[in-house]
Each structure stands twice: as structure tokens, then as C-alpha cells.
Structure 1
Amino acid sequence: MSYLATLLLLPLVGSGLVFAWRNSSSKHLALAIAFIQMFLAFYMLSNFDFGPTVDSRLQYEIQYPWFQFINSTLHFGIDGMSMLLVILTNILVPLIILSSYNENKPYNNNFYALILLMQFGLIGVFTALDGLLFYIFWEVTLIPIWLIAGVWGQEDKRIKFTTKFFVYTFVGSLFMLLGFIYVYNYSASFAVTDMYNAALNLNQQTVIFWFIFFAFAVKLPVFPFHTWQPDTYTYSPTQGSMLLSGIMLKMAVYGVLRYLLPITPLAIGGISGDIVVILAVVGVIYGALIAIVNNDSKRIIAYSSLSHVGLMVAGIFASAILTVRLANPASLVIEGAEGALVQTFAHGINVVGLFYCADILYKRFKTRDIRQMGGLAKIAPKFAILFMIILLGSMAVPLTNGFIGEFILLKSVFDYNLIMGVLSGLTVILCAVYMLRLYGKAMFGKTDDMLLSTAKDLSTAEFSVLASLSVFVILMGIFPQVIIEMVGSSLKFIFLSMIS
């Protein structure tokens, strides 16, 4: 069995084993499987060829006949872009499992089995090279996260908001499927490269663009398709919020780059691309402003995620629009996509850390209202330090993981349009305001001394998770070029496909 087949099937088999393991030690089995998966992913990374040539972009390829009557195959493979997201997934899943070690969840074997099942779906999304296969794995990820959020979520409102999330995402997915089927009628195959070469005029591409983009806009989310996000992030269990924000929304970033850009370049070069940039920049400002005035720690992080994702989308489409309009293979404008992938990895690390910090605050103060917190720094110095490191990464401070990606994204938007660039640049100031407000209220504000008397510093599991994430915040800030080199040839192929 190939390495990629093992990487795909191990979490699926592990999910079944954990589901059958009906006792309190199921979390140890789930964690062991997740760590094995992580080591396998890093082993594959160590043997990956990041050569600059386009011909070297696909490795660990698997291809078997499947639905031959519609020319759909079980086709999987990894290029630099896929590898980046596979690594992110397999770093975060064991940390997400470890983050729940201090909790006694009902039906805990089912909880951990669903996390592993979601990991299976995520790996499938990031490695599928067939449109129909991509759609199937996209839907596979929806079921476990819906159950995780609905069954183990907080407060009675979770059912209402989880159902809203499911309906939004499912309807969006159906539009994506319709778009893929339309392309199939002109490509006669669901293979990625055949879908790229479908002969479609501007009007056809525009219709397909909005069908497929709707699915990705809901998942990211992009303003104004974001209304499910704050409530779902808030009322999901912490691990559900981590999965949704840290990994699941990256499926849409990947989908935009892998499918939307090369299938509908004429639409992107027209007014559709400009509309998306405007919506994304509105999301940057809107998310940041709502985060500033909010007092719920999880909602602050949810709206900050909306703001950061808006900048990623703006950067990607700014580069795509310039590439299509220049139409010069010798001068591809891929910087925005590079910055988005760097920021995708950084955001995954940071937002998982922030949601875990919010969970730790909730456990100490028994509330998510930052106005009722304060003074924790003198009781929990280890937590104060690690929380600050993750906070600095989210604020894009130089030498942290958020800096280079955000810098490249802002440059890309400036190159596209000065006004859009200036508005996007406000995120640097606004992010500092709401993040420092969150930290200042929780760690240095005044609170009930009786409440603080029972608070403790980090447990072993809490320290392990936050310290691991902090290491990535620092390493990525020092060595961002590793990611840029990893994804370079993949992005060149995708952007060449847009103008060829």
C-alpha cells in the first residue's frame, strides 16, 4: 500500500476502532492514531521533491478506475499546495485531541471517532484530483463536524445554529456540484486537468463562477455569506471551533485555487473578480470592527477570523485578476496566492491557539465575557507568556508567523488597487486593537479575588498544546520561505492554466 493510501485510510480505520473502543481510554487510542498520522505526513514531506519545474508538481499519485461511464476516477496525488495543507491538518488534529484531555465528555469514544473521520475527509479534499471525488470528500467532512457541534456544543442554542450551519454549507455544496456537472458537459471528464481545459465562453464561466464560488464563500466565510459563522464558532465545543476555523475553512481556500481560478479565468478577469475583492475587503473591515466592540471571547476570535480570511481572499483574487488581464506567461502574478497560503498555515496555527486560550479563560472565570475577567497573569505566568506569543502571531508582528503572509497579501491588494489596499491595511491597526483589548481585559484587568484564588496555571496537556503552537508561531516567522518554496511550482501551474 502506498504512503498516500495509508495517509488516507489510517484515520478512517482509526475512527472505526475508536468508535468500537467504548471506554474512557478511547482518547489515548485516538491520540496515538493521530500522532502516527502526523509522523507519516512528516515522513512524506521529508521525501517530497520541491523542484522548481512544473513537471514535478504531483507525487505519491494514486489512480484507479471508478465511475468509468462518466470518466471519474479514484485519482489522488500531492503537490506542494496539497502537502502544505496535509501537514497543517496532521499537526492540528493531535493537538485538538490533546486539548480535550482534561475534559470528561459524554460518549467520548464517539467524539474522538468523529474527529478522526473528519481528518479522513480533510485529507481526501486536499489530495483528490477528480472533481466528483473532491465534492464527495467535501460532503464527508460536513457530517462529523455537524455532529460534534450539535451533540457536544454549549447551551441549548447550539442545535439552532448548528442546523443553520449545516443548511448553509449543504446548499452551497449543491451549487458547487451543479457547477462541476456543467463543466463536465464540456470536458467529458471530472479529471482536474480536463476541467481546466473545458471550452467555455465568458457568459458560461460567469454562471459557473458564481455557482462554485457560493460554496467556497459560505465555507470560508466571505461577507455577506458569514452569518452562520459567529454563532456556530461560539456554541460549538472548543474542539469543534478549532476544527472549523483551523482546518475546515482551508478547504475553501484550497478549492478556490485548485478549481475556481483555472476553470473560470475569463469570469475572474471580468467584473466578477472585482466584486469578490470588494466583498472580501468589506469583510476585513466589518469583521474587525465587530470584534472590537464585542465582549464575548469566542465571538471576538470568530470575527477576527472573518477579517483575516477576507484579506486572504482579496489577495488571491487580486493576483488572479492581474494575471488574467496581463495574460503574459512570462510575468505571472502569484504573490497574492503565495501570501494566502502562508497566511492559511499561520491562521490555522493561530486561531486554534486563540480558541484554546478562550477555553482556558472560560474554565478559569466561568464566563466568556471579558468584562468579568482580569488579573490572571499574576496567577498563571506560563499561560500569560504563551497566550501573548499566539496573540502576536495573530497581530502579524514581525518575526511571527502572521507577518510575512499578511505583508505579501497587502502588497498584492495594493498592486491591484490603491484604495482597496489602504482599506485592507486597516486590518493591521484594528487587529491590534481587539487582540490587545482581549488580552488586557483577561490578563491585567481587575476581578474578584475569590475567583482568582481558585485559578491555576496551565495543566500538562494545556501547556503541551500551547507550547507546540507557539513553536510554530516563532519558526514560521523566522523561516517563511520554506512554505513559499513549497507551493511555488503548484501555483505557477495553476496560474499558467488560467491564461493558456
Structure 2
Amino acid sequence: MLLALLLLPLLGSGLVFAWKGSISKYLALGVAVAELVVAALMLCSFNYSDSVDSHLQYSIHYQWSWLMRSSIDLGVDGMGLLFVLLTNILVPLIILSSFNEEKSYRNTFYALILLMQFGLLGVFSSLDGLLFYVFWEVTLIPIWFISGLWGQEDQRLRVTTKFFVYTFFGSLFMLVGLIYLYQYADSFSLIDLYNTDLNPNQQVFVFWMIFMAFAVKLPVFPFHTWQADTYTYAPSQGSMLLSGIMLKMAIFGVLRYLIPITPDAIAGCSGEIVIVLSVCGILYGALIAIVKTDVKRIIAYSSLSHVGLMVAGIFASAVVTLRGNFTIEGAEGALVQAFAHGINVVGLFYCSDILIKRFKTRDIREMGGLAKVAPKFAVLFMIILFGSMAVPLTNGFVGEFILLKSLFDYNTLTMIIAGLTVIFAAVYLLRLYAKAMFGEGDEAVLSGVKDLSTSEFIVLAVLAFFVITLGVYPSIIIDLVHSSLKFIYLSVIS
């Protein structure tokens, strides 16, 4: 099933690219739905045993280079399967979200989305450092073309060039770190990398080399300066792919690579520095979102703030564990929140796209009154907004609560400062909703506005379903990832 999961979007991408005309979007949606079915079958047959010995499943191993001691080594544990599910839930919705738009070279557009899906799934299933890097770089190619060819015309060249330079150079740092590890492990195999014996200074070097790539991709403050422009000027589907799925590669990479390989660096000042930078990002993103009036920039800075909380929680949990109090709460909370964030931020960017199309502007000061002419949109938008605000019984609440608890275990003052994000999120998101939905709108504009189309309603209704379901049953995610995180954090203290 894992082989089918990887080959289907790759083959589908080629088929969609070769198929001209409007049929290409239906073909792309069919491939994405088939991928979701495969992922669902993998979930149904997944072994939920709490034993760390059974955490890895659906393995594929094929030696592709004896010279470099690298192999096509693939497999998924609960954590990997979580991100596989997130990818395969969101990609068909992202494709469907474009059905009301006229795209030039539509077959190329949809083929690139499927190619990116292939790269993302490769990242989440790689058990070889070099293979992980290859898939990491593969994802950069389609998103660069999607943003560059279909982005806002007056800014797309500048923005996509800045994005490419940031992410490409970040990736080169990761490659240096992996090659350095290879010198001591004599292999790129993940298990061999885990067993590499590095002294604390060597671990610090490897940590910062690899973390640079993750810091840019997340992004972590102050490596965030590419994010707002790219999210704003990319097409809505590009913004959804970047924020909903692509940044999760870095969350995955931190847990899969950095924590087990460089525990001494994390226990030292490196972990403390990342926590401080993350908390700065939490406050910075939230405060900027409060004063922005561009709807897409508000969501971009909101994402920066929420990602900061996830990263802070992961490293706080790791530091507490290395101090002798074993806990995986922070990592569990981060994965719950990562899945919730993917659902919520895709919903918010799609809602912003709907607002921009209705009002012909990104400025919330020029919006208003949409609730009275689009009640279905008003309800679904509010549900997704509640999830992003971490309202109880929505998907954002449980993960955020666990993350704040892990920060409390680490340092009370850090938790208090990070906890301000709950208040700030309510300020900027309710301000956005109030302006767009209940402000004084132009009656001439509102008279021509319709409620949701069929495809728009399906996308938002599915996202709203996950907001509520995962808020009521968060154990679905926690049970899935528990044994994986237990294995990773036991590797830290062994």
C-alpha cells in the first residue's frame, strides 16, 4: 500500500499533464481521492500497539547506492501516517477549491499539485537521510512554479525568487549537516544516524545545520520574512499547500531527526534558544496580525504565531525529558495542533479567497455585510474561525492546551507569555470576521453577491466537519502517534 501511495500521485501527475482541457481537473481530483482511499485503508490496518518495537509499519527497503550507503528505505509509523492522512485529506480539497476558477495551462497546474503531493508523501515516509533530502527538494520545484506562474502578476517574480532563495539555501545547510553525520555513521540510514556517537560540540554543529532548513520552512522567527509575501501573492491553492502541508515537513523533521540525533545540543543552550525564538514568533506574529488589514496577511501572521507555539512545545518537552522527567506531552500536543492547524489554515485561506472574490479587495476595511447575503458561508467560516481560536470542543483547543501545559512544566513565565496567543488570536480573528461579515457593506456590491457554490460548500463543510470531530475526539490522533513519540523520546534518553 505504501508503494501505491507514492506511485499513484507521480503517475497521476504525468497523466494529468498529458491530458489537455477541462477534464484534467476531474482527473486530478480522481487521483487525489484514490490517494485518500489508500491512506484510509492504511489507517484501518494500522497496528495501534503501544510497543515501541511495532511503531514502524509498511516498510520498503531497496539498496540504490552501495557507494554512498544510501537506500530507498521507506516506512510509516503513527506520526508519519498522521501527516500522510493530512496530506491526502487536504490535497483533494485544495484541487476542488479551484473548480470555480479559470486557470491558464490547467493541466500543468493540477499536475504540479500532484507532483508536490508525491514529494510530501516521500518526506513523511523516508527512513534514509539522503532520500529525505531528495524528497524535501522535490517539493520545492512544484510550489515554486505554482506560485510563480499563477501568483499575483505584479509581485510574483520578486516574491517567488525570495521564497526560492530562502528555502534553497536553508536546504543546503541541511545537506551539510547530513553529510557531516554520514562521515561518522558511514550510512544515511535513519537507524545508523540515530546510533552515531557525536560529542556535544559536534551535535551543536549538526543541530544548527539541519535546523536552519526547518527554521526557514516553518518559519521560525527571525527566518520568517519570506512568508507573508509568499502567502499573500501566491494563488490560494499555493498558500494552502504551503501553510497547510508544506510547513509540516519541518515539524516532522524536528521530531524524526533533530531530537533523537542531537539530544545533547538540545539539552544545552540550543534548545533554550529555539524556545526563545519560538516565543518571540508567537508574540510577533499575533501582534502584527492585529494591526494588518490585508486578509491574507492576517492569516499568514496568524500561522507564524501558531507554528511558534508548536515548536516551543516540542523543544520544551524535549528539554524537560533530558532533565530527567520523561514526557512526550509537548510532542503529542504539537502533532495534534499540527493536524488541526493544517485543517484550519486551509479553511481560513479558502475563506479569504471567497471574501476577495466577493469584494474584489483584500482590505477588510472595504468589506462588510456578507453574513446577510451568504448565511451558509457565515456559519462555516465561523466554525473554522473557532477552531483557529482554540475554542473548546474544536480541533484547536486540545493541542493548544497540551502545548501550554508542556510549557508550564518547562517554565511558568514562558507559558504565560506564550499563552497570550490565545487572547491575541481572538482579537485579530474576531476583528476579521466582524469587519467582513457584519460591517457596513456596499449595498451595490452585496446585491450581486451569491452564497456558496456547490464546490465551495463541500470544501468548507468537510473542513468544518474535521474541526468539530477532532475537537470532540482528539484521542484519534493521540492514540495514533503515541508509540512513535515514545520511541523517539526513549532514543533521546538512551
Q: Give the one of 122, 137, 143 matched to 2:120.
A: 122
Instruction: Write out per-residue CA displacement over residues 334-359 of structure 1, whole angstroms, 9 at most, x where no aligned residue.
Output: 10000000000000000000000000
Q: Who is 2:218 aligned against?
A: 220
Q: Give the one of 153, 156, 163 matched to 2:154.
A: 156
Q: Give the one of 475, 480, 491 matched to 1:497.
A: 491
Correspondences of 1:125-274 after superposition (within 5 Å): 125-274=123-272
Instruction: Write out per-residue CA displacement over residues 41-75 of structure 1, whole angstroms, 9 at most, x where no aligned residue.
Output: 00111000011001111111000111112211100
Instruction: Tell me the CA shift for residue 195 of structure 1.
Output: 0.3
Q: Quick one: distance in 2 between partners of 1:418 and 1:59?
A: 38
Correspondences of 1:35-50 after superposition (within 5 Å): 35-50=33-48
Q: Quick one: distance in 1 between partners of 2:156 and 2:281?
A: 24
Q: Aligned pair 1:324/2:325, yes or no?
A: no
Instruction: Tell me the CA shift for residue 114 of structure 1.
Output: 0.0
Q: Which amino acid aligns with 1:43?
A: L
Following superposition, which runs of at least 4 residues in structure 1 exceed 6 angstroms of deviation? none
Q: Which amino acid aligns with 2:101?
A: E
Instruction: Tell me the CA shift for residue 155 of structure 1.
Output: 3.1
Q: Quick one: distance in 2 between partners of 1:26 and 1:155?
A: 24
Q: Quick one: distance in 2 between partners of 1:494 and 1:371?
A: 48
Q: Quick one: distance in 2 between partners of 1:492 and 1:498?
A: 10
Q: Quick one: distance in 1 between partners of 2:54 and 2:135?
A: 25
1:54–1:489 Cα contact (<8 Å) kept: yes
1:370–1:441 Cα contact (<8 Å) kept: yes
Correspondences of 1:400-415 after superposition (within 5 Å): 400-415=394-409
Instruction: Write out per-residue CA displacement over residues 247-283 of structure 1, whole angstroms, 9 at most, x where no aligned residue.
Output: 0000000000000111110000000100000000000
How many pairs are equivalent?
Answer: 494
Q: Give the one of 337, 358, 366 matched to 1:364.
A: 358
Instruction: Tell me the CA shift for residue 308 of structure 1.
Output: 0.1
Instruction: Tell me the CA shift for residue 243 of structure 1.
Output: 0.1
Instruction: Write out per-residue CA displacement over residues 286-330 of structure 1, whole angstroms, 9 at most, x where no aligned residue.
Output: 00000000000000000000000000000000001111121xxxx
Instruction: Tell me the CA shift for residue 33 of structure 1.
Output: 0.5
Q: Which amino acid aligns with 1:383?
A: F
1:332–1:492 Cα contact (<8 Å) kept: no
Question: What secondary structure does 2:72 align onto?
Answer: strand
Q: Who is 1:373 aligned against?
A: 367
Q: Quick one: distance in 1 between partners of 2:222 and 2:65?
A: 37
Q: Which amino acid aligns with 2:427?
A: V
Please report the RMSD computed on the Cα atoms of aligned residues, expressed in angstroms.
Answer: 0.6
1:26–1:112 Cα contact (<8 Å) kept: yes
Correspondences of 1:35-114 after superposition (within 5 Å): 35-114=33-112
Q: Which amino acid aligns with 2:446?
A: L
Q: Aligned pair 1:447/2:458, yes or no?
A: no
Q: Quick one: distance in 2 between partners of 1:286 and 1:377?
A: 31
Paired-residue identity, %: 70
Question: What secondary structure does 1:70 align onto?
Answer: coil
Question: What secondary structure does 1:69 align onto?
Answer: coil
State the TM-score, normalized to the length of structure 1: 0.98
Q: Which amino acid aligns with 1:423?
A: I
Q: Quick one: distance in 2 between partners of 1:203 and 1:433?
A: 43
Q: Which amino acid aligns with 1:7?
A: L
Q: Who is 1:303 aligned against?
A: 301
Question: What secondary structure does 2:38 align onto?
Answer: helix
Which residues of structure 1 form unaligned runs of 5+?
none
Q: Which amino acid aligns with 2:249?
A: M
Q: Quick one: distance in 1 between partners of 2:327 and 2:205?
A: 25
